Amino acid sequence: MTPLKRFYNLLELDKKDVSQIFFYAIFAGLISLSLPLGIQAIINFIQSGRVSASWIVLIVLVVFGVALVGILSLMQLRITENLQQKIFVRSSFEFAARLPKIKFEELYDSYPPELANRFFDTMTIQKGTSKLLIDFSAALLQITFGIILLSLYHPYFIVFGILLLFLLYFIFKFSYHSGLETSLKESKFKYKIASWLQEIARNNFSFRKEINYNFALQKNDGLVADYLTYREKHFSVIKRQFTQLIIFKIIITASLLSIGGFLVLSQQMNIGQFVAAEIIILLVINSVEKIIIGLETFYDVLTSIEKIGQITDMNLEEIQETDLENLNYLTDITLETENVKFKFPDSNETILGAISLKINQGEKIFIEGENGSGKTTLIRILSGLLQPTSGSFFINDDTFRKIDLKQYRSQIGSIINDETPFEGTILENLTFNDKNISQEDLKWAITGVQLTSLIKTLPKGLNTKIFPEGRQLSSSNAQKILLARSIIHRPKILFYEDPTDTMDEKVANEIIDFITSEKNKWTIIVSSKNPYWITKCDRTIIIQNGAIQFDLKNN
């Protein structure tokens, strides 16, 4: 989809507001262009040397017209403010609704926080759309009405209208693609700079060392140089457009003054008509200038829509609608894969090859393998984060592509690598404000993962705010919060990637004992560097080069 088509679709959502803006613009344009006619009549009265009631009425009407145009502009401003608010609200919910639902495969070569930064383009769309709708609509209508009105004074002015339309077409035709292309490339490096600054902020301790600090500045310098290159190329397009406008203004102004003067001298126009025509011409030329200058805003809006469109174009998971409050929970869940293969999009490397296994309810399985062997990918396929490239995945003898993914996820708890607490209270991190979680379940989960002592030391207890990524917490306490979150619903299956690897050995082993206790009937599928998990699991699956080498029952 082209950026222009995306912009049209955006306006289509609020076509009632857009129609109102154009209606007021048409009304204001007609009034604005009727003012020169009033001024023409006043000048004629002055030339005749007569003072009459008609002259005073005309002055009142002209002043009233100016006031009415101002009121109409204020009404347009109110509508565009509503439109800006709608764009912001719609964009925020679009991001909030899509980011958690984007297919995992779509994100494998992207950094989600950097993608979220695209939301700031919403502000450009807000302000730019408002400016374009008001300025462009008023300018285009003034040009149209002005040309029609001028043609009534004399046929010579029709040539002026044709030249004007040709100029606008010429500028847009030969500058649109280059202007948009350079704007998109400029925006690309703008985001690269923002992403690098984010990395510096995220790893600020690493960059405190002088040599590392210099590297940060050097890399930033290179990115800024690339940005300035494309910014300068984009400015060249804008400069060329404005140069064309200046040349046009010189030619048109000289021509029209000469034509107008000739028509007055030849008595084909009176002085009042000449003044009125010149006012209209100035209005039209100013409108053309407003459009040309506004093209930069036009490029910015299209670029911002395209950047956000790259997020909205990402494929979402296909999830059936389910009433989670009325789920018929399954008593047992059996997982089975048959010749499952997986590779990431745009990659020729197969991560998993022909994986076949069966996991019954209540089994505790330890997955072992070297880095890059495929164990993490297998866990993510089994947990529903990834879909196999080929082969079959069965849950209770139903194919994975047909099951109710919401229902399945309501039965599992998980911790994946790089997962951290989010900004919010400890209670929100544990429960996500789920009112179905009882105080008994909350206390049980907190006690089981040994979070009680931490919470008792905090003045606000469970209502203590956590910084993004749990910055003020130790890594072990952050993992405990994730563990408590994963079990608080007493799920049927637990999927864990290195769930206790940052904890002291004694504490980790005690928590492993609790998680693997016979009292808990859930299935456990875990990969970890802590060998104690193996002693508490029923089976060990060893993966090498994306294939199961051994599937051993533990004694």
Is the domain of 267 the same as that of 329? no
Is the domain of 392 the same as that of 517? yes
Mean pLDDT of the chain: 83
Is the domain of 340 the same as that of 276? no
In a domain, 318, yes or no: no
Query: What pLDDT score does 219 carry?
Result: 93
Query: What pLDDT score does 324 carry?
Result: 46
Single out the residue in 261, 284, 312 at which a domain terminates. 312
pLDDT in tens, 413-465: 999 888 889 989 999 999 999 888 999 999 999 999 999 999 999 888 999 99
Is the domain of 102 the same as that of 191? yes
Choose among 33, 293, 295, 288: nearest CA to 160: 288
What distances in angstroms separate CA 284 from CA 135, 154, 165, 291, one per listed residue? 13, 16, 11, 11
In a domain, 425, yes or no: yes
Domain CATH code at residue 534: 3.40.50.300
Type of residue numbered 297: T
Is the domain of 354 the same as that of 220? no
Q: Would you place residue 397 in the very low, low, confident or very high pLDDT band (cuts 50, 70, 90)?
A: low
Handedness of CA 500, 501, 502, 504 (dihedral sign): positive
Give the burial class of 155: count Cβ atoms within 10 A of its Cβ; 0-12 exposed, 13-18 middle, 19 or more buried.
Answer: exposed
Query: What pLDDT score does 480 carry?
Result: 93
Is the domain of 465 the same as that of 375? yes
Mean pLDDT, to the nearest integer, of 77-87? 87
CB 342 within 8 Å of CB 458: no
Domain that holds residue 7: 3-312
Query: What pLDDT score does 40 carry?
Result: 59
In a domain, 334, yes or no: yes
Q: From the DSSP assignment, how many helices (H) and strands (E) are in the chain?
A: 17, 12
In a domain, 185, yes or no: yes
Is the domain of 439 the same as that of 549? yes
Tokens of 483: 């563990």
Give the burial class of 39: count Cβ atoms within 10 A of its Cβ; 0-12 exposed, 13-18 middle, 19 or more buried.
Answer: middle
Q: How many domains does the chain have?
A: 2
CB 355 within 8 Å of CB 547: yes
Higher pLDDT, 497 or 282: 497
Spell out the long-range contacts of 217-224 with Cβ–Cβ below 8 A and sequence spacing 24 or more: 220/193, 220/196, 223/189, 223/192, 223/193, 223/196, 224/193
Give the burial class of 98: count Cβ atoms within 10 A of its Cβ; 0-12 exposed, 13-18 middle, 19 or more buried.
Answer: middle
Would you list the DSSP string of 451-492?
-HHHHHHSTTGGG-EE-GGGTTS-HHHHHHHHHHHHHTT--S
Is the domain of 352 the same as that of 378? yes
Residues 6+ apart with CB under 8 A from 209: none
Query: What pLDDT score does 326 carry?
Result: 43
Strand-pair category, 465-466 with 424-425: antiparallel
Is the domain of 292 the same as that of 333? no
Domain CATH code at residue 292: 1.20.1560.10
Is the domain of 299 the same as that of 435? no
CB 129 within 8 Å of CB 71: no
Whole-angstrom distance, CA of residue 176 vs CA of residue 298: 10
Report the interhelical angle of 271-312 vs 210-265 (nearest 10°): 150
Whole-angstrom distance, CA of residue 85 vs CA of residue 349: 46
pLDDT in tens, 359-386: 998 999 999 988 888 898 899 889 888 8
Query: What pLDDT score does 327 carry?
Result: 45
**Stated length of the chain:** 555
In a domain, 296, yes or no: yes
Mean pLDDT, to the nearest integer, of 491-509? 92
Mean pLDDT, to the nearest integer, of 67-71? 75
In a domain, 161, yes or no: yes
CB 133 within 8 Å of CB 18: yes
Mean pLDDT, to the nearest integer, of 352-357? 88
In a domain, 423, yes or no: yes
Higher pLDDT, 39 or 360: 360
In a domain, 317, yes or no: no
Higher pLDDT, 55 or 442: 442
Report the interhelical angle of 3-12 vs 271-312 (nearest 10°): 100
Total Cβ atoms within 10 A of residue 305: 25
Single out the residue in 312, 334, 349 at which a domain terminates. 312
Single out the residue in 289, 312, 335 at which a domain terminates. 312
pLDDT in tens, 296-350: 888 899 899 988 888 888 888 776 655 444 444 556 788 888 999 888 877 778 8
Tell me, rounded to whole angstroms, the distance of Cα 58 from its chain centroid: 53
Is the domain of 200 the same as that of 337? no
Is the domain of 426 the same as that of 459? yes
Residue 373 is given by DSSP the state S
Mean pLDDT, to the nearest integer, of 242-264? 77
